[in-house]
Structure 1
Amino acid sequence: MSENFLNIGEILQSLRVNKGIALEELAEDICSVEELDLMEKNKQVPTIDQLFMLANKLNVKLSDFFDFTSADSASYVSAVSGLINKYKRERNYKAIDEIVQREKVNPLFNFPSSQQFLLWNEAICLYYLSEPQIRDKETSVKMLNEALDITNPLRKGLSEREIEIKMSIAIIEKDHMNFEGAITILKEILEDIDKFPALAEPQIRLRALFGLSQSLSRLNKFEESLIYSEKGIKQCINDEVLYLLGEFLYQSASNNLALDNKKLGIDYLNKALNIFKLQENHAFSNFVENELEKLSKE
């Protein structure tokens, strides 16, 4: 990545000086003054989200930092995609929508795969930026299906990205309380995933398992939900990842408690608590501690 940032410092310093902005002012809420000074001297590479925030403060486009006459065009699309994915993990849909709306008119995003990526994320933002009671599920799902149509209108032999778009449909159905619909799609996704010899992004399967476990629990199908939460726990352990492990452990605890397996439920809650504390997830760890305290008084 550093090769694509060779002139970033020079451009950054030139824009800042021309706009009469002090180092301290530009660095505020983004990085330290020392870090910004090193960036301007090309001795430190800014992260893509730092660059995005700096561009906003300088009132320029992120693309102004890239040379479109070379292979940096592809680097720019990749960088923007990476930034959107970062914000998606943080559920910062407002930031995603701002990027999508700006890049929709960028010629660099005229290729089918890039158009698909923007449409996919635009559909997600449309749904989650609305108030829960007025969310337009139908339009969002329609847009996600249109995104799939760009590369796979027959829905045969889905790629990993296409599976992820399909996953977005399932999650929106789940969040819209259409649990039966979500379960149907998520089971199809697991079948699609099983056709891959290996996944570049194994977390896709974990998200499908977790969505299934959640949806089944909401329909009081606790025994079936438990099957999928246990599969999730097993995959996390086998893959040696913490991603969703705490959530799967909590899901198994909840299912066992609903099935009157109190001792097992408490055991899973304690395991979930340990994971959330390890991850410094204070909101979840406090929630589980409260659940354990209530159970100790019963």
Structure 2
Amino acid sequence: MMSLASKIGDKVLGRRKELKMTQADLAKNICTQSQVSRIEKNEIMPSSETLYQIARRLNVSMDYFFGVEPVNNTIRGKKICEDYLESKEFETLEVFVDAQLQTILTEYEHRYLTWVKAVCAGYTKPDLEIAIKVLEELLDNPIKHQDYELEASINSSLSIFYKKLKDNEKAENRIRIARSIINENNLFNEVAAKIYYQYSALLISEESYEDALEMANEGINICIRHNILFLLDNLIYVACGAKQELGVISFKDRELCKVGYGLSKLKNNTVQIELYEKELKDYNLKN
């Protein structure tokens, strides 16, 4: 996937040349010519303020750089947020979200983008407490527009950050709430797969292997019933790992493990591939 930074650099270069403007012309009173050059070469990502000033100089809107889809009944820029959350390009995404938060938004759009910004901050800033505070405030202040998937995602993000702080009690409470929201509203999609994987992985870390196996199997069943490949390989790995710890793993489970390994290779999930290869190697040595 072409990174968002690459798209921005290419568009700055293309628009500047279209206007027959030099790098020095574009940089004047905004940044240095060297910075413009590095932006156009996709070496650096400009801050939201610098990008805003560049957009004004090039006589385009901020949407020009991000390729935001037209306004619909959901959220402008949601697809961009989803893509870059998945690819973990948090610093670049943060620039996009900052730009969107400067525009006129509905209450619902503001809530969604605030969640995304908090998630980005949780991974890019040293103080997790700030991100946690923003997410807790979102949950303390619900809005009329009920998006259960978003509410589940906010709780899921809180669970991740509490786990990073080693507060497993709060982490488990939040992921339990997220799971309840998913089940009560029949939201069986990629968000559901993520929540079941997150819950089962948390239980593995707590050595609650029977509960972890139950959560992983529920997640696997959801993926199979609803044709969701997202995180299926991760869920299979957790289920097999829990059975291994419980001493109940069978030949059939090992065959399932090979299926998960194949899925990881198809997705080029390098981290998961390494985990599977170690697991399968250990199994072959024991047998």
TM-score, normalization by structure 1: 0.69
For the 8 Å contact 2:159–2:174, the answer to whether it is kept is yes
* Alignment counterpart, residue 263 of structure 2, candidates 269, 272, 275: 275
1:223 to 210, 231, 240: 210
Matching of residues 142-153 of structure 1 within 5 Å: 142-152=133-143
Q: What code does the residue aligned with 1:289 have?
A: E
Give the Cα–Cα distance (whole angstroms) in 1 for the partners of residues 271 and 70 of structure 2: 41
Residue 128 (str. 1) matches residue 123 (str. 2) = yes
Q: Displacement, 1:249?
A: 0.6
TM superposition shift of 1:97: 1.3
Deviations 1:133-189 (A, max 9, x none): xx4232211101222344349xx9763222221221122223333223222222222
Say whether 1:86 aligns with 2:83: yes
Q: Tell me: CA distance 1:88–1:19, structure 2 relative to 1, closer, same or farther (3 Å).
A: farther
Distance (Å, rounded) in 2 between the aligned partners of 1:121 and 1:65: 18
Q: CA deviation at 1:229?
A: 0.5
CA distance in 2, matches of 1:285, 1:242: 16
Amino acid at match of 1:16: K
Q: 2:168 is matched with which residue?
A: 179
Distance 1:293 1:64, change over 3 A: closer
Report if the CA contact (8 A) 2:62-2:99 is conserved: no
Counterparts of 2:193 and 2:246, CA distance in 1: 24
CA distance in 2, matches of 1:63, 1:150: 32
Going from structure 1 to structure 2, the CA distance change for 1:94 and 1:240 (only over 3 Å counts) comes to same
Does the residue aligned with 2:158 lie in a helix, a strand or coil? Answer: helix
For 1:14 and 1:215, locate their aligned partners in 2 and report how far apart those are by CA, in whole Å.
Answer: 48
Q: Residues of 2 paired with 1:115 and 1:65: CA distance?
A: 17
* Deviation digits for residues 205-251 of structure 1 (CA, Å, limit 9, x no counterpart): 22221111111111111011100101111111111121111001100
Shift of 1:297: 2.1
Decide whether aligned partners of structure 1 residues 14 and 171 sit closer, same or farther in structure 2, where only a CA change above 3 A counts.
Answer: closer
Give, in whole Å, the separation in 2 of the partners of 1:29 and 1:239.
42
Distance 1:223 1:64 in 2: 50
Pick from 51, 63, 70: which aligns with 2:61? 63
Unmatched 5+ stretches in structure 1: 1-10, 31-54, 67-71
Question: Within 1, Cα distance between the matches of 2:243 and 2:19?
Answer: 64
Task: Show CA shifts across 1:96-144 (max 9, x none).
Answer: 111223333x2323x32222122212211221113xxxx4232211101
> By how many angstroms is 1:292 displaced?
1.4
> Which residue matches 1:141?
132
Instruction: Say which is worse superposed, 253-262 or 215-224, in terms of deviation.
Output: 253-262
1:101 is aligned to 98
Question: What letter is aligned with 1:107?
Answer: T
Number of matched residues?
244
Which residue among 135, 153, 178 is the counterpart of 1:189? 178
Cα distance in 1 for partners of 2:180, 2:75 equals 29
Tell me by how many angstroms 1:63 deviates. Answer: 2.6
Q: Offset at 1:272?
A: 1.4
* CA positional deviation for 1:294: 2.7
Structure-2 residue corresponding to 1:246: 233
Q: Distance in 2 between matches of 1:255 and 1:267?
A: 15
- C-alpha contact 1:73 1:108 (8 A) present in aligned 2: no
Q: Identify the match of residue 157 of structure 2 among 165, 168, 172.
A: 168
Distance 2:271 2:195 in 1: 23
**TM-score calculated relative to the size of structure 2:** 0.72
How far apart, CA to CA, are the structure 2 residues paired with 1:158 and 1:186?
Answer: 17
- Give unpaired runs (5+ residues) of structure 2: 1-11, 23-36, 43-49
